[in-house]
């Protein structure tokens, strides 16, 4: 009997999927941010909680400021976060507040009606919060950034000293970077070190992110990808010169960037500022060697944006928080207050305390550099707080499709399977016939 | 499918070692050649597994080297202690065991029961229904898993171990396998029992079940292995860390400790070991079971 | 008219009623056997599969209502380069994986179908890859394939191959590498089925052939191959469906790359569905995949039928 009932329920559920669909309205969209006085419990999505402390830091910090609101964490898989979240949202079993890992999937959630309008929260936040505008569609905000990582150049001072080469000074263009990396590799080899000049992780963003952000006139949705060519030429040159591990080695051995830089296998590494927290922690626990390191602005497209008097151009997607429209309406105001807290100065400070780059970098720079193990030179501070950060995934209907085919380009070119010119023209024709015409 | 149905061998339990069909044994030279071939093939097949075991006994930095080290420098056992300390291996094993046993039991019962209906009871629409069963095997799971997930969530099953049980226990494969086996059992046996006044349930219970023990054993092992090694199912349905299965746990572990090769290999070895032991214990039955179901086509 | 029917009808009516009662009873008994499995199957598998067939004709982004678009998804397929690449790769995989696995499985089965010391051990060894977790196997194989540090190329280099293939990171060699691992993984499984088939061949057939003066090869052609036909047919059908649907092996080994060199249909379905959020379109590709499996099975069925006549 129980089986029959559940069967009936199941069939009804399947039918409702076809006929009724899911409601996607935003309840109480205009509710002003304010915390209800009664006890409230909010649920928040996070991943790998044991090694990712930021979610707990925000939840605890918010609870301390609003003792009547408890924030419960729901754990997701780090690599398959979006797959699990899409399934949960479709089945209405997602938490009240969820994280938008990057801008790539923001469009999916926003256009699918899975985000509550939070324009009022955006308005109440100061202009110091980076990445706020990336989440706006048609003049309304659908998520609030609480982290804004930017890509900078990490370098190992000890290895530079060993090679007898001067530290980065903020004046580098890409050509300079390539030549320094090759010099480092040769000098380190001479001095009996196995370390190489730089490490480039297998992600497409290590090449394409900079190319898109820095090249004047480059636009993802234009379907013209010729801006990638000089960046790939340089990446391949470094790989062929032995100044960085090859793509094949990195992907088949599943090399990790944490080990490559942390275990001093490479003297330089371009990486997002999220790596600061990891490096500090690994140096503390012994998972990484203890050595002096520093940060410098990423190499630039040309000399016009180099030097500490200019603003270097780099890229990075904000990490945002959004509210699930399935949240019960009496919790919306508490959820909005949580977003405001996370993106505001208080949240920024509690994130900075664990080494995470908040969306409001200026507000926390001094707290940040007082952490144990942080470098203290002025260029590191400059690199951390001054940059023009362009989104890696400019929000549009076509972004995911285009990034997918550009990832094919990346793996084909970096593995040596295709020349860059042929790969670009292939990608352009695929973009035209498969993505931009949809 | 009917062309595949050959009459069953009269002995339901054929000898595990094939009958001697050659009047004489193969010459010593041939035997040596066969052994050389077999050992070479076995070495090739086991190479990845050997690499796994050896790497688990090395330090992290020794795993990837040029040239390759086929033997560990000095045997390091502490990886096996470390993994117990750093991961929730016990929880993962416990969950996976619960799931594998529950799924196997259910699959055996419902599968063999339904197979009897398909094989031995004649009623209108039976063959069409069977085609529907087999047809679903040809549909890729990842394309209907979202509708299925929505449905399971409505049944309040997602994020519980029940979801994986429900997902695996009613698969079409068991029905297919058992049906082919039952059809190869001579009809006269059940006819004789019917004349004696035995009900269909009695025939199933007293004749078919005992006769199909080897087939059930093979189905049991297949189901057990598949549930043990399932990754996508638990990934989609389970969220809480205390519900993780061995495959899910291992992949989270890899993404968490991706710098520690030796430890990853240790985890991989540990994930294979229990199932290897179960296979070794059951392999006698398994080979026999397949031997008798094999002709099902 | 009425009288002519009346006469013979009278005696048969109870018979017919009896027969219909028996049909009814059989149906009830039959369904009582099916029900425990069928309820689970219908709700958890059949219903979602039917929904999938409906979704193939809609535009659905998972969250909202599926909008009926008729044949639009299938029209889009015709002009979708990636779909054709994926189809081509799937056929490439299938075309090589089936004969290789079939050959390896049959070879192993013939080798192990004799009285040898330790035969149980070798059978277990052959089955080992199938029980090894696919996550661990992919990890190990990728390391083995590594172009610079991997043992496979380290073995090939001293053999005089100066530029051994890049395997999983080469657009040319990634598919052969995947096929190799696929064969490694599945041959033991099918070997056991072949072994079973071999054990059911009556010994008298071999004796008769021997009396006729047939040598080992002739006995294999004249006795083993035809007697194994039902088993071979089953193995090919299961292998075909399995090859067309190959998914997690490729996802973990190469993730479809480099470029699109190992992108197969199942993975393209996953990508369009979960990454690009076009679930209606993904469903349409699934329907194509289903039809392919179905047609291949029917073709094999007919070939098998003609041969066995």
Model confidence over A110-145: pLDDT tens digits? 988 999 999 999 998 877 788 888 899 989 999 999
Alpha-carbon distance of B140 to C284, in angstroms, equals: 12
Does an H or E element contain C196, and which?
helix C174-199
CB A126 within 8 A of CB A336: no
CB B98 within 8 A of CB B134: no
Q: A428 pLDDT exceeds 80?
A: yes
Residue A373 — φ and ψ, nearest 5°?
Answer: 95, -10
Q: A112, C150: Cβ pair inside 8 Å?
A: no
Cβ–Cβ pairs < 8 A, chains A and C? 132
Q: How far is CA B9 from CA A216, B13, B293, C201, in A?
A: 78, 9, 11, 10
β-partners of residue A199 are: A269
Alpha-carbon distance of A54 to A73, in angstroms, equals: 11
CA angle C189, C192, C198 (to 5 degrees): 145
Of the candidates C146, C172, C274, which has its C-beta nearest A252's C-beta? C146
Alpha-carbon distance of C122 to B222, in angstroms, equals: 19
CB B275 within 8 A of CB B184: no
- Cis amide prior to C177 (ω within 30 degrees): no
> Burial letters for A184-197: b for 16+ Cβ neighbours within 10 Å, e otherwise?
bbbbbeeeebebbb
pLDDT attached to residue A38 = 79
CB A383 within 8 A of CB A153: yes
Chain C segment 127-186 residues within 8 A of B by beta carbon are: 127-137, 139-141, 143-144, 146, 148-151, 154, 184
Q: Give me the half-sphere count of Cα atoms (radius 13 Å) on the Cβ side of residue B231.
A: 20
Residue C261 — φ and ψ, nearest 5°?
Answer: -70, -20
The dihedral built from the CA positions of residue A135, A201, B263 and C156, taken in this order, carries a sign that is positive
pLDDT attached to residue A8 = 44
CB B254 within 8 A of CB B236: no
Determine which of C41, C193, C203, C244 to mutate to test the interface with B (most B C-beta atoms within 10 Å): C41
pLDDT attached to residue A34 = 62
Closest A-chain CA to C61: A112
Q: Give me the half-sphere count of Cα atoms (radius 13 Å) on the Cβ side of residue A389.
A: 28
User: What average pLDDT does range C118-130 have in this prediction?
Assistant: 82
Measured in angstroms, the CA of C38 and the nearest CA of chain A are apart by 11
User: What average pLDDT does range C74-93 have in this prediction?
Assistant: 93
Residue A315 — φ and ψ, nearest 5°?
Answer: -140, 170
Alpha-carbon distance of C254 to C263, in angstroms, equals: 9
Range of B89's domain?
A: 2-296
Chain C residues touching A111 at Cβ < 8 A: 61
Chain C segment 120-179 residues within 8 A of A by beta carbon are: 139, 142-143, 145-150, 166-172
Ordered by start, the domain boundaries in chain C are 2-55, 72-308
Residue C204 — φ and ψ, nearest 5°?
Answer: -60, -35
Measured in angstroms, the CA of A423 and the nearest CA of chain C are apart by 9
What's the number of domains chain B is made of?
A: 1
Alpha-carbon distance of A258 to A287, in angstroms, equals: 9
Coil, helix or strand for A296? strand
Rounded to a whole number, what is the distance in angstroms from the first to the last CA of chain C?
Answer: 47
β-partners of residue B69 are: none
**Superfamily of structural domain C72-308:** MetI-like (1.10.3720.10)
Coil, helix or strand for B133? helix
Measured in angstroms, the CA of A271 and the nearest CA of chain C are apart by 23
User: What average pLDDT does range C152-177 have in this prediction?
Assistant: 84
pLDDT attached to residue C234 = 73
Q: B241, A92: Cβ pair inside 8 Å?
A: no
Alpha-carbon distance of A94 to B239, in angstroms, equals: 11
Q: How far is CA A149 from CA A102, A357, A384, in A?
A: 10, 6, 9
Chain B residues touching A287 at Cβ < 8 A: 259
pLDDT band at B261 (very low <50, low <70, confident <90, very high): confident
User: What average pLDDT does range C43-47 have in this prediction?
Assistant: 91
Higher pLDDT, C163 or A10: C163
Counting residues of chain C whose pLDDT is more than 90, the rounded percentage is 30
Measured in angstroms, the CA of C270 and the nearest CA of chain A are apart by 10
By DSSP bridging, strand A388-390 and strand A151-156 are unpaired
Does an H or E element contain A238, and which?
helix A229-240
Residue A255 — φ and ψ, nearest 5°?
Answer: -60, 150
Q: Tell me yes or no: is domain A151-314+393-435 CATH 3.40.190.10.
A: yes
pLDDT attached to residue B65 = 62
Q: A45 pLDDT exceeds 70?
A: yes
By DSSP bridging, strand A69-76 and strand A40-47 are parallel
Q: A212 pLDDT exceeds 90?
A: yes
> CATH for A27-148+317-359, among 3.90.700.10, 3.40.190.10, 3.40.50.720, 3.40.109.10?
3.40.190.10
Rounded to a whole number, what is the distance in angstroms from the first to the last CA of chain A?
Answer: 48
pLDDT tens track for A310-348: 999 999 999 999 999 999 988 999 999 999 999 988 899
pLDDT band at A286 (very low <50, low <70, confident <90, very high): confident
Alpha-carbon distance of A280 to B107, in angstroms, equals: 50
- Rg (alpha carbons) of chain C, rounded to whole number: 26
Alpha-carbon distance of C41 to A371, in angstroms, equals: 57
Chain B residues touching A92 at Cβ < 8 A: 153
Interface of B with A (CB under 8 A): 64, 145-147, 149-155, 158-159, 235-236, 239-241, 248, 251-252, 255-256, 258-259
CB B5 within 8 A of CB B297: yes
Among C164, C145, C136, residue whose Cα is nearest residue B55: C136
Among C230, C201, C237, C235, residue whose Cα is nearest residue C307: C230
- Rg (alpha carbons) of chain A, rounded to whole number: 23
Alpha-carbon distance of B231 to A295, in angstroms, equals: 40
Counting residues of chain B whose pLDDT is more than 70, the rounded percentage is 82
Ramachandran sector of residue A129 (left: φ over 0; alpha: ψ -120 to 50; beta: rest): beta
CATH number of the domain at B167, please.
1.10.3720.10
Q: How far is CA C80 from CA A322, C281, C287, in A?
A: 34, 11, 16
- Name the DSSP class of A431: I
pLDDT tens track for C226-256: 878 777 877 888 888 889 999 888 988 888 8
- Cis amide prior to B262 (ω within 30 degrees): no
Alpha-carbon distance of A123 to A140, in angstroms, equals: 10
CB B147 within 8 A of CB C55: yes
Lowest mean pLDDT among A55-64, C133-142, C174-183: C133-142
pLDDT attached to residue C128 = 85
| Count of residues in chain B | 297
Give residues with Cβ within 8 angstroms of B192, minimum separation 6.
none
Helices (H), A100-143: 106-111, 119-124
User: What average pLDDT does range B143-171 have in this prediction?
Assistant: 89
Ordered by start, the domain boundaries in chain A are 27-148+317-359, 151-314+393-435
Alpha-carbon distance of C284 to B143, in angstroms, equals: 9
β-partners of residue A320 are: A100, A145
Measured in angstroms, the CA of B156 and the nearest CA of chain A are apart by 10
Among A310, A373, A359, A387, residue whose Cα is nearest residue A99: A359
Alpha-carbon distance of B176 to B182, in angstroms, equals: 10
pLDDT band at B146 (very low <50, low <70, confident <90, very high): confident
CA dihedral C272, A80, A245, A216 (to 10 degrees): 60
The gap from C-alpha A163 to its chain's centroid, in whole angstroms, comes to: 32
User: What average pLDDT does range B90-103 have in this prediction?
Assistant: 93
Give residues with Cβ within 8 angstroms of B115, minimum separation 6.
B174, B175, B176, B177, B178, B179, B181, B182
- Name the DSSP class of A173: B
CB C34 within 8 A of CB B118: yes
């Amino acid at each position: 009997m129980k089986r029959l009932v559940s069967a009936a329920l199941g069939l009804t559920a399947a039918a409702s999927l076809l006929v009724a669909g899911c409601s996607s309205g935003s309840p109480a969209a205009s509710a002003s941010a304010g915390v209800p006085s009664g006890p409230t419990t909010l649920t928040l999505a996070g991943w790998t909680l044991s090694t990712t402390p930021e979610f707990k830091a925000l939840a605890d910090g918010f609870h301390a400021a609003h003792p009547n609101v408890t924030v419960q964490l729901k754990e997701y898989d780090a690599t398959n976060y979006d797959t699990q979240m899409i399934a949960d949202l479709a089945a209405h079993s997602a938490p009240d507040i969820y994280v938008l890992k990057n801008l790539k999937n923001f469009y999916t959630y926003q256009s699918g009606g899975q985000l509550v309008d939070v324009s009022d929260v955006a308005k109440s936040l100061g202009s110091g919060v980076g990445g706020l505008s990336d989440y706006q569609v048609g003049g309304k905000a659908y998520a609030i950034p609480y982290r804004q990582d930017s890509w900078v150049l990490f370098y190992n001072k000890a290895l530079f000293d060993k090679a007898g080469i001067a530290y980065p000074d903020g004046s580098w263009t890409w050509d300079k970077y390539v030549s320094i990396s090759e010099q480092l590799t040769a000098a380190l080899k001479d001095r009996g070190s196995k370390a190489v000049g730089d490490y480039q992780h297998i992600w497409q963003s290590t090449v394409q992110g900079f190319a898109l952000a820095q090249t004047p006139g480059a636009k993802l949705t234009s379907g013209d990808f010729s801006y990638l060519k000089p960046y790939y030429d340089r990446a391949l040159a470094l790989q062929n010169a032995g100044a960085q591990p090859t793509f094949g080695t990195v992907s088949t051995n599943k090399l990790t960037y944490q080990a490559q830089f942390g275990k001093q296998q490479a003297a330089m590494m371009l990486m997002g500022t999220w790596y600061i927290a990891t490096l500090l922690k690994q140096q503390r626990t012994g998972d990484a060697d203890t050595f002096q390191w520093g940060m410098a602005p990423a190499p630039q497209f040309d000399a016009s944006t180099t030097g500490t008097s200019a603003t270097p151009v780099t890229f990075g997607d904000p990490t945002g928080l959004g509210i699930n429209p399935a949240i019960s309406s009496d919790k919306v105001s508490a959820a909005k207050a949580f977003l405001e807290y996370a993106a505001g100065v208080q949240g920024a400070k509690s994130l900075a305390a664990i080494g995470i780059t908040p969306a409001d970098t200026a507000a926390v720079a001094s707290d940040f550099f007082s952490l144990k193990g942080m470098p203290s030179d002025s260029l590191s501070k400059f690199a951390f707080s001054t940059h023009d950060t362009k989104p890696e995934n400019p929000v549009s209907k076509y972004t995911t499709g285009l990034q997918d085919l550009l990832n094919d380009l990346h793996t084909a070119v970096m593995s040596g399977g295709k020349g860059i010119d042929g790969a670009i023209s292939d990608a352009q024709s695929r973009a035209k016939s498969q993505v931009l015409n949809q | 499918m009917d062309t595949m149905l050959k009459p069953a061998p009269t002995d339901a339990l054929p000898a595990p070692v094939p009958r001697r069909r050659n009047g004489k044994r193969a010459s010593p030279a041939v035997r040596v050649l066969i052994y050389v071939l077999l050992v070479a093939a076995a070495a090739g097949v086991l190479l990845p597994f050997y690499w796994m075991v050896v790497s688990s006994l090395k330090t992290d930095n020794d795993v990837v080297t040029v040239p390759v080290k086929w033997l560990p420098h000095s045997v390091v056992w502490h990886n096996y202690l470390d993994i117990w300390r750093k991961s929730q291996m016990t929880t993962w094993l416990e969950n996976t065991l619960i799931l594998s046993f529950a799924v196997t039991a259910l699959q055996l019962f419902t599968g063999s029961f339904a197979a009897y209906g398909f094989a031995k009871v004649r009623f209108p629409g039976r063959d069409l229904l069977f085609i529907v069963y087999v047809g679903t095997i040809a549909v890729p799971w990842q394309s209907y898993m979202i509708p299925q997930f929505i449905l399971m969530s409505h049944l309040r099953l997602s994020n519980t171990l029940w979801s994986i049980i429900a997902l695996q226990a009613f698969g079409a494969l068991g029905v297919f396998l058992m049906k082919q086996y039952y059809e190869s059992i001579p009809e006269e046996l059940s006819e004789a029992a019917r004349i004696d006044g035995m009900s269909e349930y009695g025939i199933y219970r007293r004749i078919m079940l005992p006769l199909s023990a080897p087939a059930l054993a093979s189905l049991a092992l297949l189901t057990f292995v598949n549930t043990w090694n399932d990754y996508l199912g638990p990934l989609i349905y389970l969220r809480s860390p205390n519900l993780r299965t061995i495959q899910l746990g291992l992949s989270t572990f890899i993404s968490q400790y991706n710098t520690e090769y030796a430890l990853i290999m240790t985890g991989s070895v540990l994930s294979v070991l229990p199932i290897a032991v179960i296979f070794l214990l059951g392999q006698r039955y398994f080979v026999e079971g397949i031997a008798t179901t094999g002709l099902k086509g | 008219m009425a009288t002519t029917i009346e006469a013979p009808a009278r005696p048969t009516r109870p018979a017919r009623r009896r027969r219909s009662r028996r049909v009814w009873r059989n149906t009830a008994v039959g369904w009582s056997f099916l029900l425990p499995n069928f309820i689970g199957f219908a709700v958890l598998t059949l219903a979602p599969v039917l929904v999938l067939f409906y979704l193939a004709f809609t535009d659905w982004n998972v969250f909202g209502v599926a909008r009926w678009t008729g044949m639009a998804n299938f029209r889009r397929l015709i002009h979708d380069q990636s779909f054709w690449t994926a189809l081509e790769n799937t056929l490439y995989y299938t075309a090589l994986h089936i004969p290789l696995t079939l050959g390896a499985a049959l070879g192993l089965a013939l080798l192990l179908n004799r009285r040898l010391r330790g035969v149980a051990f070798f059978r277990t060894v052959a089955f080992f890859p199938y029980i090894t977790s696919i996550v661990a196997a992919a990890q190990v194989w990728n390391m083995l394939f590594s172009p610079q540090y991997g043992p496979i190329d380290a073995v090939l280099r001293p053999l005089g191959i100066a530029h051994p293939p890049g395997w999983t990171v080469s657009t040319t060699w990634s598919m052969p590498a995947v096929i190799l691992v696929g064969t490694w993984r599945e041959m033991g499984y099918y070997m056991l089925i072949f072994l079973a088939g071999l054990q059911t061949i009556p010994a008298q057939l071999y004796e008769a052939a021997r009396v006729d003066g047939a040598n080992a090869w002739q006995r294999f052609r004249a006795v083993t191959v035809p007697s194994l036909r039902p088993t071979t047919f089953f193995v090919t059908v299961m292998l075909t469906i399995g090859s067309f649907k190959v998914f997690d092996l490729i996802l973990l080994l190469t993730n479809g790359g480099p470029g699109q060199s190992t992108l197969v249909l199942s993975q393209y379905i996953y990508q369009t569905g979960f990454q690009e959020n076009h679930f209606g379109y993904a469903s349409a590709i699934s329907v194509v995949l289903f039809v392919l499996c179905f047609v291949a099975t029917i073709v094999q069925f007919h070939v098998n039928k003609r041969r066995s006549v």
